[in-house]
Amino acid sequence: MKGFLNELKKIAAEIDKLPEQLAPFVTQAVRDNMKNGNFKANSTLTKSLKNGGAKPLFDSGETYASITSETTKGLIRTGTNKAHAPLINYGGVVKPKKAKSLMIPTTRQVKKTTDAKGIRKTLKALEDKDWRILWRPSSVIGIAPKGAKGFGLKLKDSKEQDGTAYLLFYRARKITVPAREFMKLTDEQQLEIMTMAEEMLAKVMK
0.75 surpassed by pTM: yes
Q: Are 161 and 141 in contact (CB under 8 A)?
A: no
Domain boundaries, the chain: 2-94+176-205, 102-173
pLDDT (average), residues 98-114? 95
CA distance 86 to 72: 23
> What does the pLDDT look like over 120-143, one tens digit per residue?
999 999 999 999 999 999 999 999
71 CB-near residues (< 8 Å, 6+ apart): 19, 20, 23, 77
**Regarding predicted confidence, which is higher, 103 or 156?**
103
User: Alpha carbon of 35 to those of 24, 29, 63, 81: distances in Å?
Assistant: 16, 10, 11, 18
Specify the pLDDT at position 143.
Answer: 94
> What does the pLDDT look like over 39-68, one tens digit per residue?
999 998 888 888 766 789 988 889 999 999
Specify the pLDDT at position 181.
Answer: 96
